[in-house]
Amino acid sequence: MSSIVVVGSMAFDTIETPFGKQDKILGGSANYFSLSASQFVPVKCVSVVGQDFPKEHLDLLKSRNIDLAGVRHGDGDTFHWSGRYGYDLNEAQTLGTELNVFETFEPELPESYRDAKYVFLGNIAPPLQMKVLEQVRKPQFVALDSMNFWIEGQRDALIKAISKCNAVVINEGEVRQLTEKYNMVDAAQVIRKWGPQILVVKRGEYGAVLFDHGDPFCVPGLPLAEVKDPTGAGDTFAGGFVGFLASQANTSLSRELLRRAVVYGSVLASFTVQDFGFGELLKLSREKIEERYRRFVELTRFTRVA
* Site for ligand AMP, rule CB under 6 A: 9, 11, 13, 27-29, 32, 81, 97, 123-124, 147, 149, 231-235
Nearer to ligand AMP, 211 or 278 (CB): 278
Tell me the CA end-to-end span of the chain in Å, nearest whole number: 44
User: Is the separation of the CB atoms in 227 and 252 below 8 Å?
Assistant: no
> Rounded to whole angstroms, what are the CA distances from 152 to 159, 178, 230?
12, 9, 22
Residue 237: enclosing H or E segment and its boundaries?
Answer: helix 233-247
Q: At its nearest, how many Å lie between ligand AMP and the CB of residue 242?
A: 14
DSSP state of 231: T
Q: At its nearest, how many Å lie between ligand AMP and the CB of residue 182?
A: 21
CB neighbourhood size of 147 (10 A): 20
Q: At its nearest, how many Å lie between ligand AMP and the CB of residue 16?
A: 13
User: Is the separation of the CB atoms in 53 and 28 below 8 Å?
Assistant: no
Sequence-distant (6+) residues with CB within 8 A of 306 are: none
For residue 119, give the nearest of 281, 201, 262, 2 by alpha carbon.
2
Q: At its nearest, how many Å lie between ligand AMP and the CB of residue 13?
A: 5
User: Is the separation of the CB atoms in 83 and 276 below 8 Å?
Assistant: no
Nearer to ligand AMP, 2 or 203 (CB): 203
CA distance 26 to 131: 25
DSSP result, 69-83: EEEEE-SSPPEEEEE
Q: At its nearest, how many Å lie between ligand AMP and the CB of residue 97?
A: 5
Nearer to ligand AMP, 33 or 253 (CB): 33
Q: At its nearest, how many Å lie between ligand AMP and the CB of residue 125?
A: 7
Q: At its nearest, how many Å lie between ligand AMP and the CB of residue 252?
A: 29
Nearer to ligand AMP, 96 or 214 (CB): 96
Q: At its nearest, how many Å lie between ligand AMP and the CB of residue 117?
A: 24
CA 64 to chain centre: 18
Q: Strand order of the sheet with strand 217-219?
A: 66-73, 43-49, 4-7, 118-121, 141-144, 167-171, 198-202, 208-211, 217-219
Nearer to ligand AMP, 202 or 253 (CB): 202
